[in-house]
Amino acid sequence: MFSGVCGFITIRIAGVRLTLDYKQMQTLEYLLKKLDGPILQQDFAEQVRLIIRLPAEQVSILLQSFPDKRLFTDLKNTFV
């Protein structure tokens, strides 16, 4: 039997849209594996457009890894 106090945990999740060159995809995929960030959508054209989700505290690591901030077209925080 389990006894104890149950509570709620708030986790901040960031949704990020970005556009990358194909040559940057391998770096991004490696980084997302380390950060527990799945790719929710990807469109392949002249460049790759992506929507990813990751814990909000990991966004700064992602931004540091890709210093060209123009890649990030939308950054939203949501709560789960």
Residues 18-62: tens digit of each pLDDT: 888 888 899 899 999 998 899 999 999 999 999 999 888 888 888
pLDDT band at 66 (very low <50, low <70, confident <90, very high): confident
Identify the pLDDT of residue 79: 44
Closest CA to 72 of 63, 7, 80, 64: 63
In contact, 24 and 12? CB cutoff 8 Å? no
Identify the pLDDT of residue 41: 94
